[in-house]
Chain A
């Protein structure tokens, strides 16, 4: 038995496998979707089952501006990754910064909405079923935005230090998959909470 038989002979065609970063992130997104699904199911299941007020239609206002900001951040992060891939580092830094600002606006907006609900409308997580499911679902999403923003800030620091190069574009691309996912989840949450749920 020689070692030749089981090792690779030169001249064979190139052996190409999927990128582990993309596969890993895709798997993580699959798991996260399952978590969100359970929270969305709970929200829908408990619609109109609260025994006391306030009800969604009394207190919720549709956060149009927030939604526009978050969804457009998907476009800007895409433009940022494309810029890095074609070695336009400054354009990358600019689009990345815009993404960060848009994500932060969304978080601040959610914070203001909660402040309004808690202190003016008297709705807390323990008030009724609506409060429990609303703060859990929106909070779970906001938590994911926060985690994403932490990543964005980290990359922003590297960009400001001039450490971002085209070689990093694959990794930044994998990260952007997560951000797109967070945006896609918001479409579902928005539809369920502010359109169907009211």
Chain B
């Protein structure tokens, strides 16, 4: 196998002073180091965003609680949403993409390594700007404050009259800056996947992870740009006295909603398609079968990519659009369930009749399958305009999208963590702790987000900092908050497992899972140049072909 290494500087690493090694990380343009930087950065924000969520849940545990003030609650709500979407989920998915794409397509780096570093640092500075608002939000005169306009920042909340100080500007500029980084990542993903594939890897022989990230790259270009444009307009309104979203001068608050959700809904698919990519790589390996319906998977992903740009206004049914507008967005929302459903069937088809190994990555993938299905079903419910009029703005919506992002995306991210941890670190993780992590997180997740649907149906509005007793919401809020404890315990186990395995884990070897894609053909962790000799492939499972020369895949594909 092509696991030979070229001795360049390998052994010199150990004796070098820490300052030099840190300097290496800061100036690096290596896709593997940048990928790990993205992931570590995202994990830090996962903890920060998690603390903000916990503060909100403690505040809501009983009626009339006084744990935090309404102002602080609004800030926590805004920062939690913004952090988790822009500075946790997106960077972690970009991190895995940046790390894995070149390895999986047999390249030595991304198409534009320096653009790659630029993108990471833009994202990183965006996060710093957002959190600088805690001390600089009022312009450093006194105690600062964080933005409190919600992660959607509807007009006229963001106008000068209602958002004094600079907190909203920090929010705007943070998203503008990190958006530029994301667009750079999108450009880089597309150029890498189209232009850097190893000999023999035609588009039809690419691993699904590469295919799905290609679609994500395109979606980033067309979805983050509207947000960038809208943020520029908001800056013009706030600093140059423009009137884009100023209703008193004829501007429109609804236009902001349209611009925001034209970004906002494709964004959901930008987040979930890489999660699909992880599942599409992990499920076959642990079912010991090739992926079922490869071309259909690709077609479904491209279908999602297109349809996702035509569903945004289902976030706005209660605004009062025309009945034609409502019907159109109900139809498109129902339509996008079709390619998504195809994918779920394909994963089940892959598992069907396979010799399933219930290791931690597979457990998380199975959790993903069930939870994402339920999340999709409540999504269809909310996509029906009459039902939406009843439940929009309630905790049912909060439960729905957390089911997508936590139950779907985060579970897939954990699966990816355990699956690729041996490749990234060169060591195996502790399987017992990983299973504890899975079960505790599963219990915590379901306690929190299953029971969150019920107060929503009972009429509990979202975004409120406290509520009256005697409406039947108390018990549900109590259970929801208790579930958070299980999740915190699971995350602690996860972090401990990660740190312990990083230093004390057993050596993993090149290919601990007996997998089939190219990243497992090089050493763990891979050398700086990835592959000593560029591989050449003949089928979708190049390592299967090597391991089974008597029955290679390329005879059948």
- Contact status A38-B112, CB under 8 Å: no
- Could you name 23 residue pairs across A and B whose Cβ atoms are closer than 8 Å? A1-B1, A1-B546, A3-B533, A6-B535, A7-B535, A8-B535, A12-B536, A19-B195, A23-B111, A23-B191, A24-B112, A27-B190, A27-B217, A27-B221, A31-B221, A34-B226, A35-B226, A35-B229, A36-B229, A42-B233, A46-B252, A129-B251, A136-B233
Pick the residue among A20, A38, A49, A125 that contacts B196 (CB under 8 A): A20
- Contact status B542-A6, CB under 8 Å: yes
Residues in A neighbouring B232, C-beta threshold 8 A: 35, 136, 140
Tally of B interface residues using CB under 8 Å = 58
- Contact status B222-A129, CB under 8 Å: no
Residues in B neighbouring A19, C-beta threshold 8 A: 195
Task: Assign chain A's interface to a size class.
Answer: 35 or more
Complex alpha-carbon distance, A157 and B230, angstroms: 36
Confirm or deny: A67 has a beta carbon within 8 angstroms of a beta carbon on chain B.
Answer: no
Residues in B neighbouring A15, C-beta threshold 8 A: 199-200
- Contact status A42-B244, CB under 8 Å: yes
Q: Using known A-B contacts A128-B249, A132-B243, determine if residue A30 contacts B221 with beta carbons closer than 8 Å.
A: yes
Complex alpha-carbon distance, A190 and B190, angstroms: 31
Confirm or deny: B259 has a beta carbon within 8 angstroms of a beta carbon on chain A.
Answer: yes
Confirm or deny: B499 has a beta carbon within 8 angstroms of a beta carbon on chain A.
Answer: no
B441: min CB distance to chain A, Å: 36
- Contact status A31-B222, CB under 8 Å: yes
Interface residues of A (CB under 8 A from B): 1-3, 5-9, 12, 15, 17-20, 23-24, 27-28, 30-32, 34-39, 42, 45-46, 49-51, 125-126, 128-129, 132-133, 136, 140
Residues in A neighbouring B192, C-beta threshold 8 A: 20
Complex alpha-carbon distance, A51 and B187, angstroms: 41
Per-position binary interface string of chain B over residues 259-280, scored 1 when its CB falls under 8 Å from any chain A CB and 0 otherwise: 1001000000000000000000
Which of A5, A23, A50, A133: most chain B CB closer than 10 A?
A5
Confirm or deny: B241 has a beta carbon within 8 angstroms of a beta carbon on chain A.
Answer: yes
Complex alpha-carbon distance, A116 and B128, angstroms: 41
Residues in B neighbouring A140, C-beta threshold 8 A: 232
B186: min CB distance to chain A, Å: 7
Other A-B pairs beyond A7-B534, A15-B199, A24-B115, 19, CB < 8 Å:
A1-B1, A2-B1, A8-B536, A17-B194, A17-B195, A20-B191, A23-B190, A27-B221, A31-B220, A31-B221, A35-B232, A37-B226, A38-B225, A39-B229, A46-B250, A51-B249, A125-B241, A126-B240, A129-B243
